[in-house]
Structure 1
């Protein structure tokens, strides 16, 4: 009988934000899969290790993902990753795949999940605290109020039109395009705050667009609030 695949969200960075269910599954797991070439070097590993120091004693499975938008390259890696996980499941072992934030939000895990679900394997997604909820809490502010909509936007693509949407905008994965993103925010007079590496030891907080560095890292998340005058109408 094949094992079961769990996609487990480990939250944004602070080990104390790991859920009780996630921690239990990690402790019970036969195999821990992590998105990277070297499991011990991944951010997800370090987060969980902070709550469960014995993590390194588990059987670890590296599942590399490329930083590429080439469809053929992506498909090749995703197929190979699914095959690696499948090989372990076929041994009758359960696999816990750790992923940052929540597995349902722009997660690398989903590429593996979709493939194995299609092949009939048993899977379960275990939610984690999303990065944008953690950033909002860290900034000590709400995301949305009353009837305000919330828009979660991948900033690595075109954002000009998205920034014109009403309500609160969350820009994720802005790192490589931060110079362009910052310029667009300034041109639109947006009210925005950003946290880089939320919940991690090297966390940095920027409370205005002007403060945001153009060379910010990959784990940078921007929250753009509705103009204050409009919110108070």
Structure 2
């Protein structure tokens, strides 16, 4: 398959604090022909607001906002992702360097990786630029280590089998925990001696820290760390 000039790059902007963005992420945004945001109103996207704090030149870039519905309906999700790819396909065909901004890291639960598959199938170049994941930033905000010595770390999300995951040894991280906060509390109550830490909107102006599993908000952007 002939490789074409257009390139699609997934860039992580970190959890919220612009100072946590990497130098490479900043450079990719500066060099982009067009910046893609995972929200129809591009300038309202969380990733845009974070990146703007580190790259003021972003305000003058060509933007493309795409809608990604929050749904568990796989067919609906797949149709929307395909439609989103069609929305950016002409720019790839024209040889543009497209930078897709995602909060956290594009390798972890990112919608970008679905678009990446479509681009690669048509022979376009793709790449990933890491950002600091929310759970790493949350641990730093809480001033605690995630693991020491031979301690294990397990990454879960709100759709996981929480009871089984939380029963694993070591530190357990639950991402996107807000919608499952009640189920999470029930599971943690069955773990004697478990220590719970949680951060909502880590690094953003509305950041909040919680230590009581029964007081967690239902916000999507909630990261919970459960330690033995």
TM-score if structure 1 supplies the norm length?
A: 0.92
Count residues with an aligned counterpart: 224
What CA distance in whole angstroms lies between the structure 1 residues aligned with 2:89 and 2:196?
A: 43
What CA distance in whole angstroms lies between the structure 2 residues aligned with 1:132 and 1:74?
A: 26
CA contact (8 A) 2:158 2:179 kept: no
| 185-194 vs 21-30, which moves further | 185-194
Counterpart for residue 230 of structure 1: none
Counterpart for residue 74 of structure 1: 77
- Cα gap change, 1:2 to 1:84, in 2 (>3 Å): farther
What CA distance in whole angstroms lies between the structure 1 residues aligned with 2:25 and 2:67?
A: 22
Counterpart for residue 229 of structure 1: none
What CA distance in whole angstroms lies between the structure 2 residues aligned with 1:191 and 1:119?
A: 48
Match of 1:84 among 87, 106, 109: 87
Alpha-carbon displacement from aligned partner over 1:28-48 (angstroms, at most 9, x marks no partner)? 111000101111011000000
Hey, which bits of structure 1, 4+ residues long, moved more than 6 A?
none
Cα RMSD after superposing both structures: 1.3
CA contact (8 A) 1:192 1:207 kept: yes
TM-score if structure 2 supplies the norm length?
A: 0.94
Match of 1:45, SS?
Answer: helix
The residue correspondences of 1:1-233 to structure 2 (distance < 5 A) are: 1-189=4-192, 190-210=194-214, 212-213=215-216, 215-226=217-228
1:219 positional shift? 0.6
Structure 2: runs of 5+ lacking an equivalent: none
